[in-house]
Structure 1
Amino acid sequence: MILYLLRRMFLLAFVFIALSIFAFSLGYLFPGEPLQNFTGLRHISAEQLPLLQQEYRMEQGYIAQYLAYLGRIFSGNWALSFSSQQPLLQEMQMLMPATLELASYALLISFFIGIPIGIIAAIKPEGTLSKLISAVAVAGYSIPVFWWALLLIMLFSLALGWLPTAGRIGVLYEINHVTGFMLPDILLSGTAHRQEAMLNALRHLLLPTIVLATFPTTVMIRFTRDAMLDVWEQSYIKTARAKGLNRGQVLYRHALRNALLPVIRQIGLQFSTLITLAMITEVIFSWPGIGRWLIDSIYQRNYPAIQAGLLVISTLVITVNMLTEILHTVFNPLARKR
């Protein structure tokens, strides 16, 4: 197990190095002066130019510049944003919790809804209920995210007026930024209208979470159903049924544990999908997350922000996938042997 973890850590370090090299190269691939792309300064005076060239080692080779870039990354000097002229690391620290909050709640919904429904669909795969669940899962898998979001907005926001269309909380509530996650910040705040603010934040959170959770939930349903059907045909399941155990006992004691092992790996894969879909969802619902910020940076040609955003999002996705892979190996002895 220790050797396996060391191999994974080496692979993770190699991926991070390759990712940082790609992010560094964007400073030369983007239009404009590389020094401006690295610093984020729109106007560099004649007095600043030699100092910045020395700091960023622009007169040296690419290897020296890359090492200086790594030093700035680890020290927190992530340049400035072209549009706001604010430090990029500070902006991303303000925006990242909103994206993580939305993606985490959507992942929890897909986990706690998709797995039980997938198990129900696998109990009688030829039954009417199983076919209905499979049909709904295929339909949810095929629906475009932007169309599904607009449809829900038209129904629940415009037609019925039950839910808001944009934002994280109403403008009447002023919540201090403590953790960046809206619900914990409301609980930590000393406002007298905490309960009203919590209900308002939940109403803002409901629609984008449902939209974002639709795709991974349908994937989880189909994957759990297929995993359960594969396990149900194994010889140890037939042996347990031959011993006289009823269907519920076989499902709980033997089938469920082994069928959920591949589902653990799917959590990391679905998280990377959620981060991608969150960009579209944040734009539609005006959710102040890093996905919407990154898309706005692309429109504004904010090259330092694009460079930093790609580095952060890619690092987050790779780390989560690696952690779920390690977690799957911890719970699965056969994977450790392989």
Structure 2
Amino acid sequence: MTRYLFRRLFLMAFVFLALSLLAFSLSYLFPGDIVQNISGLRQIDEAQRQQLVSYYQLEHNVLAQYLAFLQRIAHGDWGLSFASQQPLLQEIKLLLPATLELAAYALLLSFIVGIPLGIIAAFKPHNLIGKSISALALVGYSLPIFWWGLLLIMLFSLALGWLPSAGRIGVLYEIPHHSGFILYDILQADVKYRIEALHNALQHLLLPTVVLATFPTTVMIRFVRDAMLNVWEQNYIKTARAKGLSRGQVLYRHGLRNALLPVIRQIGLQFSTLITLAMLTEVIFSWPGIGRWLIDSIYQRNYPAIQAGLLVISTLVIAVNMLTEILHALFNPLARRG
């Protein structure tokens, strides 16, 4: 296991090195002044330009500039945003929890719904229930997320008026910012309208979570169904059936433990998909997360923000994928041996 961890950590370090090189090169690939692209300052006089050139070591070779870039990233100096002229790291700290919260709830919903439906579809794959679940998963997999989100808004927000269509919480509720996770901040807030604010936040959270969880849920259904059918054909399952165990006992004692083991790896794969789909979901529902902020930065040609957003999202996805790979290997000796 130690050798496996060493190989994985070495691979992760190599990927992070490649990512940092890509982020560093973006300042030179973006159009415009290199000093403005790095610092984020709009108006730079000659004296200030000389100070910035010396600070970013632009008069030195590329290697020295790259090492200075890594040092600035480590110290939290990510430059300023062209749009707000605020430190980028400060903006990311305010926006990232909203995206993580939405992605976490969507991932949790996909597991709660997808795993049981996948097991049911595999338990009796050829009857009406199994075929209906498989057909439903295929339809959900094919749904365009922007069309699905707008359809739910038209139905539940505009037609029925049951749920809000934008934002994280109503403007009437003023919640102090502590962690950035709205439900946790509401529970920690010392306000009289805590219950009302929590109900309102859950209403705002419902539609974006359902929309974002649709794709990973359908993937989970198909994945668990195929894994269960594959396990069901193994010799140890046939042996357990031959010993007189019922279908339910074999499923619970032997089938689930082996079929759900690869699901751990799916957490990392689905999380990276969720982060990508969260950008569209945040735009549709005006969710104040880093995905919407990054898309707005692309439209505004906010090059320092694009660079910082790419670095943060890529680092997050790589770290989660690597963590799930390690957890999968920890519970599965065959993966370590492979």
TM-score bracket, normalised by the shorter chain, equals over 0.9
Post-superposition CA distance 1:19-52 (Å, at most 9, x none): 0000000000000011111100111111211111
Find the counterpart in structure 1 of residue 7 from structure 2: 7
C-alpha distance in structure 2 between counterparts of 1:49 and 1:183, whole Å: 45
Find the counterpart in structure 2 of residue 260 from structure 1: 260
**Structural RMSD (CA):** 0.5
Deviation at 1:180, TM superposition (A): 0.3
TM-score, normalization: structure 1?
1.00
Post-superposition CA distance 1:154-203 (Å, at most 9, x none): 00000000000100000000001101000000000001000000000000
Find the counterpart in structure 2 of residue 247 from structure 1: 247
Letter in 2 for 1:297: S
Find the counterpart in structure 2 of residue 213 from structure 1: 213
Find the counterpart in structure 2 of residue 96 from structure 1: 96
Write out the 4+ residue segments of structure 1 that deviate beyond 2 Å after TM superposition: none
1:124 aligns with 2:151: no
C-alpha distance in structure 1 between counterparts of 2:200 and 2:106, whole Å: 18
Find the counterpart in structure 1 of residue 25 from structure 2: 25
Q: How does 1:118-267 map to 2 (within 5 A)?
A: 118-267=118-267
Letter in 2 for 1:160: L
C-alpha distance in structure 2 between counterparts of 1:49 and 1:171, whole Å: 42
C-alpha distance in structure 2 between counterparts of 1:68 and 1:228, whole Å: 51
3-state SS of 2:228 partner: helix
Deviation at 1:247, TM superposition (A): 0.7
C-alpha distance in structure 2 between counterparts of 1:128 and 1:165, whole Å: 36
C-alpha distance in structure 2 between counterparts of 1:55 and 1:11, whole Å: 32
Find the counterpart in structure 2 of residue 285 from structure 1: 285
Find the counterpart in structure 2 of residue 69 from structure 1: 69
TM-score, normalization: structure 2?
1.00
Aligned length: 338
Find the counterpart in structure 2 of residue 83 from structure 1: 83
1:328 aligns with 2:313: no
Letter in 2 for 1:3: R
Find the counterpart in structure 1 of residue 35 from structure 2: 35
Find the counterpart in structure 2 of residue 273 from structure 1: 273
C-alpha distance in structure 2 between counterparts of 1:297 and 1:56, whole Å: 23
3-state SS of 2:260 partner: helix
C-alpha distance in structure 1 between counterparts of 2:147 and 2:130, whole Å: 26
Post-superposition CA distance 1:5-26 (Å, at most 9, x none): 0111111011001000000000
Question: Quick check: 42-51 or 146-155, which moved more?
Answer: 42-51
Letter in 2 for 1:248: G
3-state SS of 2:46 partner: coil
Deviation at 1:105, TM superposition (A): 0.0
For structure 2, the residue ranges without an aligned partner over 5 or more in a row are none
